[in-house]
Chain A
Amino acid sequence: MTELKERHEITLTVNGETVTRTVEARQHLVDFLRNELQLTGSHLGCEHGVCGACTVRLDGEIVRGCLTLAVQADGAAVETIEGVTETGEIADLQETFVERNALQCGFCTPGMLLTAAELLNAGKPATRAEIRTHLSGNYCRCTGYHAIVDAIETTNNKRLGTK
């Protein structure tokens, strides 16, 4: 157990700001973001990589914040829902989620949005079935997914100028 509690200094960029902290080797990235930096927009749903509530970006790629250790993010650039909200990158998607009521309890929503952003950033047309497949690693117990698919489809079509 001693090695798990070993502490390491890490320096990384979180939402554009450089932070340096000393963390336990065993601390997950999402616990680090939530507990050390108070970035509580990323959530913990299962802590074994199934539900997607902890989805964040690590060097531009979405990862499970519960399967990534904080020490693995040393030297990396991390983006969370708070960061992409600030940059306005997915403002259109966020607005469409609200209008379409594509969330209820909202616990899955930050992870869902970051996963959807990956699809939108591909800049390609996507069918409803493709959108559903893309979201299949993100669990939502409230909506039944239909409204989420609607919101992503609408945003993607708008961005591509097809509707």
Chain B
Amino acid sequence: MADTGNEIIFEQSGSYVGRTLSRPGARRSVMGRGRYTDDIQVARTLHAAFLRSPYAHARILNIDTTAAAAMPGVTRIVTGRELAEHVEPWHGILSSFVGMKSAIQHAMAVDRACWQGEPVAIVVAETRALAEDAVELIEVQWEELTPVVDKETALDAGSPVIHPEMGDNLALRQDIDNGDVDAAFAAADHIIEDSFEFGRHTAVSLESRILVADFDPSTERLTIHTSSQVPHMIKTVFAKLLRMPEHNVRIIAPDVGGSFGLKIHTFGDEVATAALSMILKRPVKFIADRLESFVSDIHAREHRVRGRLALNKDGDILAADIDDLTGVGPYSAYPRTSVFEAVQVINITGGPYKHKNYRAKATVVYLNKVPMSQYRAVGHPIGITVFESLLDQAAVVTGLDPVDIRRRNFMPDDGYPAVTPAGLPANDLSHEACLESLIKRMDYDGLRREQAELREKGIYRGIGLAAFIKGTAPSPVGYYGAGRAPIAAQDATTVSLEPSGAVLCLVGVTEQGQGADTVMAQIAATAIGVPIENVRVISGDTDAVPYGGGTYASRATGIGGEATFQAGRALRAEILRIAGVLLQSEPSTLEVFGGNVVDAANHANIRVTLAEIGRIGHFQLGELPNDVQPELSQTRHFRVKDVPYIYTNGIHGAYVELDPETGFLKLLKHWIVEDCGRVINPNLADEQVRGGAVQGLGGALFEHCIYDDNGQMINATMADYLTPMAGDMPDIDVAHIQTPTSASELGAKGVGESGVGGAPAAVLNAVNDAMMPFQRHITAQPITPQSILKALGKI
């Protein structure tokens, strides 16, 4: 374990770091007192509904709104062409992706719709029901165009080009070529080669996207209540698109009913809603209903990857070569782009292993489908599945157990700092420790014996492993900073000592139920030395908290946590300075402990309470010399420096039973051991991992945005797009190895995505292990009873 010099703080009796504490927000939720955006009532609110394109690709010849506009209760109807006069279009490219192309996107389609679900016109009415009634009365004359729906042929010479001005449908090609891959393959004893298909997914947050935009013409202020992970980014982006001074825009994110990366993007319907509030000078609310969520929320994960592994006869990996193709939708998302997922796939594939020869190609093409962009554990499930599946095939060929081939090829725990095969710097990882812990917790050998015994009885069980690295807590030297995106990679916290001696803690990172507010309170209370009951955390209001990036890429604890820790330490030092003056003692002989200033030597004698410091510091300043000005608010910023990410690592184990007659799969149990560095709240960390794992399992087994040849999503309801439900899912065992990151004093890395990334690979490997006696295997997800029966040659 790295020595951060803070062990004493984290382990002393007043520390809240490493302790399971419940979340105050949870108590509100169980009592029905959660306050989500739809629960907020703003006087005189109007309601928006959208006419959306029924076609994947079609020209808009005419829009007749006469009948709709005449309906009683309808306030205003605005088409995409009319709205374009009020709203700046956007361009979802970043200069850090060299050669990237995208078309300019408007909030609503102007003369052509490029996906089924693209907003075409907005109706604002007294109620949502009336607005929807009016949408049905709008008449659009369409001219259907040929959609581009197959990524495999999107770059063919004969393919229609979605945006003729771009010349072709290519968004980006990105390559990695490290070492001498060709020589390694030429010298290999074994070459494993396979192709993998991944279906499209979407986030299906239970609370859909929503905003109430409230423009006040008297002050020219735009206040937006919205379910967002990134309030400051939304403020900056909306100000730019709506031509508002940024300081006149306020974003308030109340309780957020799930986000998972969905709620970090710019959505045209949301921008249009805000624009209508400005036009009408009234509050306007839009909530995506579930059906329109399926065709307007970000999609993700549609990839085809070809992979090759070169090995020697002992099972050492000599080289890896992967070729990723993804089809992302007609526009690149703003401001994060839609190419990030493919870039992450080639960045993290084979990340835990020590081979140096690695070649990867990512090709991103545009399609007339719902735009894809970032979704929890961006790209990781794809890259991890490809590599871990190839590795299991390599284990078979070389006669090694899946555990042994991983042991043999891992970058050893004492081999860090190191660079990954993709050439990215990584430090403080623990593949070996995680694997050893996992096989013990699983009783791997016992499961293997049970598997063999049951196989004799015609019961087919499989065990799958999947090791991973996960990029967390991105730095400004990564893609966003280098690409000049308006996305903050740093974050900030302000802590203030109130007159009562309580502490107010304003954080730039945001709460979505993952427990960021609680974790920040634990860190602040520990850093300052106060009881946690005396700390109140505020987040999610751009008028109240320091500018920050919000919550994405597992950064809240790793980055916001360190900012909170440093702010807390600074406030503690200031409290001790003031106490020193009052007590005529050296500050170094004092300590803040349990909400009091005590003797540092024994933490026992209370010398002065924080309430006394607060009283004097705010009210009775005459008790201090003139040259002592208390600064009882302290702000600290933190960013990760030098490296693009703080990488984490871990390993999943899956145990499944397969019925070869029906193709049905039963998930018996799932295990995860991961290393998120210092764990602040064990229960919250565990539940992040468990929840993520089920999201990964859902993607591996059920979830799939299915399209027909016309670019129509044919299962766009919750009854048809299957999500994991309680009865489908196994119990999940979670453990942590704690290797604090050397990138911060707190030592915490991200934990929110470690469950998602590895689960699909582990379950695929388990299914293929169960099918081993039939000498068949699967490489496509979702894995369905039908695909299992097909693989077994039964249908």
Which residues does A use to contact B, with CB under 8 Å? 1, 24, 26, 34, 38-51, 53, 80-82, 85, 94, 97-101, 103-110, 113, 128-129, 131-133, 135-149
- Cβ–Cβ contact B726 & A145, under 8 A: yes
Give the nearest-CB partner of B34 in chain A. A106
B30 engages A107 (CB within 8 Å): no
Q: A94-B30, A132-B726 are in contact. Are A48 and B717 (CB under 8 A)?
A: yes
| Segment of B21-29, B116-124, B191-199, B237-245 engaged in the interface with chain A | B21-29
> Could you show 16 A-B contacts with beta carbons less than 8 Å apart?
A24-B129, A43-B257, A44-B38, A45-B207, A45-B290, A81-B32, A98-B27, A99-B22, A106-B34, A107-B36, A139-B206, A144-B694, A145-B725, A145-B726, A146-B729, A146-B731
Dominant secondary structure at the A interface:
loop
Q: What distance in Å separates the Cβ of B22 from its nearest Cβ neighbour in chain A?
A: 5
Q: A51-B718, A85-B31 are in contact. Are A45 and B23 (CB under 8 A)?
A: no
| With contact pairs A1-B133, A141-B723, A145-B694 given, residues A104 and B687 touching in the complex (Cβ less than 8 Å) | yes
Closest-by-CB residue of B relative to A26 is: B129
Q: Which of B694-741 contact A (CB under 8 A)?
A: 694-695, 717-719, 723-729, 731-732
Query: B289 at interface (Cβ–Cβ under 8 A)?
Result: yes
Q: Is the CB of A147 within 8 A of B725?
A: no
Q: In the bound complex, do residue A105 and residue B207 qualify as a contact, i.e. CB atoms below 8 Å apart? A: yes
A98's contact among B22, B35, B513, by CB below 8 Å, is which?
B22
In the bound assembly, the distance between CA atoms of A104 and B723 in angstroms comes to 17
Q: Kindly list chain A residues whose C-beta atoms are within 8 Å of the C-beta of B717.
A: 46, 48, 50
Contact count A vs B, C-beta below 8 Å = 183
List the B side residues contacting A40 at CB < 8 Å. Answer: 32, 34-36, 38-39
In the A-B complex, list the 3 residue pairs whose CB atoms are closest, starting with the nearest: A41-B32, A106-B29, A144-B694
Check if B204 is an interface residue, CB within 8 A of chain A. Answer: yes
Task: Select B206's contact among A38, A100, A105, beta carbons within 8 Å.
Answer: A105
Q: Which residues of B contact A132 (CB under 8 A)?
A: 726-727, 729
Within 8 Å by CB of B726, from A26, A39, A135, lies: A135
CB–CB A106/B25 < 8 A? yes
B39 close to A141 (CB less than 8 A): no
B256 touches A105 (CB 8 A): yes
Residue B62 interfacial (CB < 8 Å): no
Cα of A145 to Cα of B730 in the assembled complex, Å: 9
Chain B residues with CB under 8 Å of A135's CB are: 725-727
With beta carbons under 8 angstroms apart, the residue of A108, A131, A144 that contacts B690 is A144
A144 to chain B: which residues have CB within 8 Å?
687, 690-695, 724, 729, 732, 755
Give the Cβ gap from A163 to chain B, nearest Cβ, in Å: 17
A117 to chain B, nearest CB (A): 12
Residues of chain B having any CB pair with chain A under 8 Å = 22-23, 25-36, 38-39, 41, 129, 133, 203-208, 255-260, 289-291, 512-515, 683-684, 687, 690-695, 717-719, 723-729, 731-732, 755
Bound Cα distance A82, B25 (Å):
16
B726/A148 in contact, CB under 8 A: yes
Q: Report chain A residues within 8 Å CB of B257.
A: 43, 105-107
Q: Quick one: which of B28, B36, B206 contacts A140, CB cutoff 8 A?
A: B206
A146 partner, pick from B208, B256, B732, beta carbons under 8 A: B732
13 more contacts with CB within 8 A, not counting A98-B30, A104-B258, A145-B694, are A1-B133, A34-B39, A45-B206, A45-B207, A50-B719, A97-B26, A106-B26, A106-B30, A106-B513, A107-B257, A133-B727, A136-B725, A141-B691
Least CB separation from A131: chain B residue: B726
> Which B residues touch A24, using CB under 8 A?
129
Residue in chain B with minimal CB distance to A53: B206
For A94, list chain B residues within 8 Å (CB): 30-31
**A146 B690 Cβ-Cβ under 8 A:** yes
CB proximity of B208 to chain A, nearest CB, Å: 8
Inter-chain CA distance A147–B29, complex, in Å, is 15
A143 engages B26 (CB within 8 Å): no
| Residues of B contacting A80 in the complex (Cβ-Cβ under 8 angstroms) | 32
Shortest Cβ distance from residue B724 to the other chain A in the assembled complex, whole angstroms: 8
- Known contacts A98-B22, A132-B727: does B695 contact A141 (CB below 8 Å)? yes
